[in-house]
Amino acid sequence: MSSLRFKVVEEASNRKAVPVDIPKARPQEYYASKVFNRAKMYEYLPIDTYKALINAIDNKEPLSRKVADSVAEGMKRWAIDNGARHYTHWFQPLTETTAEKHDGFVEHDGKGGMVEEFSGKLLVQQEPDASSFPNGGIRNTFEARGYSAWDISSPAFLMDNTLCIPTIFISYTGESLDYKTPLLRALSAVDKAGTAVARYFDPKVNHVISNLGWEQEYFLVDEALYAARPDLVLTGRTLMGHESAKNQQLEDHYFGAIPSRVEAFMLDLEIEAHKLGIPAKTRHNEVAPNQFELAPIFEETNLANDHNMLIMSLMSEVARRHNFRVLLHEKPFAGINGSGKHNNWSLGTDTGTLLFAPGKTPKDNLQFITFVANVMAAVYRHNALLKASIMSATNCHRLGANEAPPAIISIFAGSQLSEIINKIKNSDKDDLIALAGKEELNLGVAQIPELMIDNTDRNRTSPFAFTGNRFEFRAVGSSANCASAMIALNAAMAEQLADFKQKVDSRLDAGEELQHALLAEIKALLLYSEPIHFDGNGYSDEWKEEAARRGLDCETNPALIFDAYLRPSSVEMFRKTGVMNHVELEARNEVKWEMYTKKIQIEARVLGDLAINHIIPVATRYLSILLDNMVKIRTLFPGNKGEELSSQDAVTVEKIMRHCSVIKEEVAKMVNARKEANQIETEREKALAYSHDVAPCLEVIRYHIDKLELLVDNEMWPLPKYRELLFIR
Ligand code: ADP
Ligand code: MG
């Protein structure tokens, strides 16, 4: 009997909810208590320093060394007052996680003792020994210097008695080695281009701000069961496991009550999130068993993204307190829903207008449709790039599978917005002049903004959907750094808005009236971007054919999808907007291909080991029991009778032997394919070889192991089964 599996199943089944230490104070009192926010700055900094820092933050200006020293001193005092002993520059390398290097505050005092020191220099800039972070060849190892520099737009915070300072991470020669640097550049580009266009409508606008509200999906698995699944531990997903007889068919998990152990975890997580100033708001069950979701209130994109990175590590930490492991992988289990991270994205002005929200007046509506038309054009123009921005070795299992958007980017507009779009598209020049001239632009939306938010049909099959006052980019993977998608999207939007501005301005220069110029250009954009607009069922096969006919990017191989970053149109867009240069783009793709290869490589090794050392031996043992049995039956009942009575066993024996032999052959084939692929020098070609020759073996091996799971004695099966992983909590 497989004692480990039954032991962990018992352990997990007996677990009770862990009590949560609920603060006595109300959330508003402990909210952001671990954040060095403006209130703390005001309290801990000399007034001149405070003013200089706020000015630098608000106006995106650099800090002088003197101010930095003073800020560092105040920040250190606050941190120490709150129990900190260490500080770290907290940054986001290209590995999709965050990185930290902790240092103590201690320095020699020159008299044989120690003082707690933290200078402005250490606050503002550091040189982490960063040669082990992926850099795509930008930093040669002999020049292994990378700088991390404080991003003053994101406040420092305390995590586990460590003062964490959000930083960008760049090479000695100035190229970005992280996600935050290009994100900040993209946000600044869309601010500039967006402000110029928003000023057609309101000259008082000084900034356009990009907002992000992410919805984080995840699975929870009991830690004992998790530990008994080497594939989960090492790759984040199950590489084998037959579908459970019951999974999500009844959708009873989605509508059911939150299980008590999970509820305790969620409460604990929410309290910790609030202390860190993360405005966690909604939590609920998701469709698949043991799948859940957490969403905060949206924030400015850079901060929201930091908060998402933070919540992912917080989740793992808090889950351990509740004897769970959190799975952020996009597809931890075959056959049921995967996890995404919807990125709700909008642009707003510093004067308080949401630019994708239909307004109350005709003028507001012209502004609304201006920005929406530019989104459609930008997404159409760069649909291949946007797909590349969300693609990874893990997310590719989710896209196009159970209830996930396909690997084709399209925009769902909903019936009301579609009506407006069609109206403008079909209007001729005279109509437009009439529309524009009347000063009463009536698109039929003036009275319905709230209705629109609630009534957008919520087409869940679309990867990019208009949801009333924002767009929801749903193709983003649950384990990804949202910045990747947000860099591509905001940069593409910045380029598009700048082009739009130029075209409208030439019309104005030629003496056209503003409203007419805008409407003419909007119409042109809506006609141009027609192919990206699709309100139908994105899960259907017809859509795949239709999308190909429309010329949308339909590539499904991740290694090839990444090529979109190096298309001339992408390179030019990133150059014009100042977000990334050619060297950075090439380096990043090297990293993407390398990461892809490594993930498949690890999965292949793990599955090979499990197949040969865990599954085959068990199947063989069961086989010999069956064979023994058959021999005994045939001894007792010689001749035809014995054969007849043992015939079912004979069938099973043959099946098991056949599955085992295919598994052994495929593992050998996979090992060879890996060896050959490893000889390839270029990262792109290597990734392609892994996707063509190695990845398919994983599927075949899995298929046969899953068949064995149904044949072999349950008592002997070594790994926790799907029904145990998914239903015990
Ligand atoms: P759903 O129905 O898709 O679960 P919710 O209404 O719960 O959506 O909102 C999901 C996320 O969208 C939340 O983080 C919310 O704050 C965010 N959100 C709402 N309005 C906007 C907006 N204008 N811009 C960006 N994010 C927004
Ligand atoms: Mg959503």
Q: Write out pLDDT tens, residues 339-390.
A: 999 999 999 999 999 999 987 777 788 999 999 999 999 999 999 999 999 9
Q: Are residues 172 and 195 in the same domain?
A: no
Mutate to test the pocket of ligand 1, among 281, 297, 344, 456 (most ligand atoms within 8 A of CB): 344
Q: Residue 22 has what pLDDT?
A: 92
Domain count, the chain: 3
Q: Residue 451 has what pLDDT?
A: 47
Q: Are residues 310 and 392 in the same domain?
A: yes
b/e sequence 631-670, b meaning 16+ C-beta within 10 Å: eebeeeeeeeebeeebeeeeeebeebeebbebbeebbebb
What mean pLDDT is predicted for residues 427-445?
60
> For tokens 């990009």, what's the residue?
210
d(CA 223, CA 317): 12
Proximal ligand: closest to the CA of 213: 1
What mean pLDDT is predicted for residues 489-495?
98
Q: Are residues 154 and 193 in the same domain?
A: no
Give the model confidence (pLDDT) of 395-411 as tens digits: 999 987 777 778 999 99
Spell out which residues line ligand 1, taking CB within 6 angstroms. Answer: 211, 213, 215, 282, 295-298, 344-346, 354, 469-470
Atom of ligand 1 lying closest to residue 297 CA? 16
Atom of ligand 1 lying closest to residue 469 CA? 23
CA distances in angstroms from 570 to 222, 316, 385, 567, 577, listed in the order given: 44, 36, 7, 5, 11
413 Cα–ligand 2 center, Å: 15
Q: Tell me which residue has its CA closest to atom 24 in ligand 1.
A: 346
CATH number at residue 101: 3.10.20.70
What mean pLDDT is predicted for residues 654-676?
97
374 Cα–ligand 2 center, Å: 22
**Domain-terminating residue out of 158, 178, 198:** 178
474 Cα–ligand 2 center, Å: 7
Residue 508 inside a domain? The answer is yes
* Position 255 confidence tier, pLDDT thresholds 50, 70, 90: low
Q: What are phi and psi of 216, to 5 degrees?
A: -95, 115
> Who contacts 661 (Cβ-Cβ below 8 Å, separation ≥6)?
none
Q: Are residues 173 and 205 in the same domain?
A: no
355 DSSP assignment: T
The answer to whether 538 and 463 are in contact (CB under 8 A) is: yes
More confident residue, 453 or 100: 100
Residue 25 inside a domain? The answer is no
Q: Tell me which residue has its CA closest to atom 2 in ligand 1.
A: 458
Give the model confidence (pLDDT) of 301-320 as tens digits: 999 999 999 999 999 999 99
Backbone region of residue 328 per phi and psi (left: phi > 0; alpha: psi in -120 to 50; beta: other values): alpha
H-run or E-run covering 7? helix 3-13
Q: Are residues 50 and 145 in the same domain?
A: yes
Proximal ligand: closest to the CA of 486: 1
Q: Residue 612 has what pLDDT?
A: 97
40 Cα–ligand 1 center, Å: 29
More confident residue, 588 or 451: 588
Give the model confidence (pLDDT) of 155-173 as tens digits: 999 998 899 999 999 887 7
**Domain-terminating residue out of 178, 210, 241:** 178
Residue 24 inside a domain? The answer is no
Mutate to test the pocket of ligand 1, among 215, 300, 460 (most ligand atoms within 8 A of CB): 215
Q: Are residues 170 and 191 in the same domain?
A: no
Q: Are residues 475 and 609 in the same domain?
A: no
Q: Are residues 142 and 285 in the same domain?
A: no
- CA-closest candidate to residue 686, choices 608, 617, 605, 589: 589
d(CA 449, CA 266): 33
Mutate to test the pocket of ligand 1, among 187, 298, 476 (most ligand atoms within 8 A of CB): 298
Q: Which residues surround ligand 2, an ion (CB under 5 A)?
A: 215, 342
Residue 273 inside a domain? The answer is yes
Atom of ligand 1 lying closest to residue 467 CA? 3
Residue 589 inside a domain? The answer is no
3-state secondary structure of 583: helix
Atom of ligand 1 lying closest to residue 213 CA? 14
pTM for this entry: 0.94
* Position 447 confidence tier, pLDDT thresholds 50, 70, 90: very low
Domain housing 710: 595-727
Q: Are residues 436 and 295 in the same domain?
A: yes
297 Cα–ligand 1 center, Å: 7
Q: Which amino acid belongs to residue 670?
A: M
Q: Which amino acid belongs to residue 384?
A: A
d(CA 689, CA 593): 11
Proximal ligand: closest to the CA of 471: 1
3-state secondary structure of 479: coil
Helices 483-509 and 180-198 cross at an angle (nearest 10°) of 30
* Position 108 confidence tier, pLDDT thresholds 50, 70, 90: confident
Q: Are residues 708 and 611 in the same domain?
A: yes
105 CB neighbour count, 10 Å cutoff: 18
Q: Are residues 197 and 283 in the same domain?
A: yes
194 DSSP assignment: H
pLDDT of 436 higher than 70: no
CATH number at residue 426: 3.30.590.10
* Position 2 confidence tier, pLDDT thresholds 50, 70, 90: low
377 Cα–ligand 2 center, Å: 23
Give the model confidence (pLDDT) of 286-295 as tens digits: 878 899 999 9
357 Cα–ligand 1 center, Å: 13
Q: Residue 457 has what pLDDT?
A: 53
Range of weakest confidence among 94-98, 279-283, 491-495, 713-717: 94-98
Residue 23 inside a domain? The answer is no
Give the model confidence (pLDDT) of 600-644 as tens digits: 999 999 999 999 999 999 999 999 999 999 999 999 999 999 999
Q: Tell me which residue has its CA closest to atom 17 in ligand 1.
A: 213
pLDDT of 686 higher than 90: yes
pLDDT of 720 higher than 70: yes
**Domain-terminating residue out of 543, 573, 603:** 573
Strand partners for 215: 342
703 Cα–ligand 1 center, Å: 39
Proximal ligand: closest to the CA of 474: 2
Q: Are residues 248 and 371 in the same domain?
A: yes
719 CB neighbour count, 10 Å cutoff: 26
- CA-closest candidate to residue 593, choices 603, 604, 601, 581: 601
Residue 699 inside a domain? The answer is yes
Q: Which two tokens stand for residue 360?
A: 């109350």
pLDDT of 456 higher than 60: no
Q: Which two tokens stand for residue 140?
A: 């040669």
Q: Residue 458 has what pLDDT?
A: 64
Mean pLDDT for the chain? Answer: 91
Residue 590 inside a domain? The answer is no
Q: Residue 406 has what pLDDT?
A: 82
Q: Residue 377 has what pLDDT?
A: 98
349 Cα–ligand 1 center, Å: 18
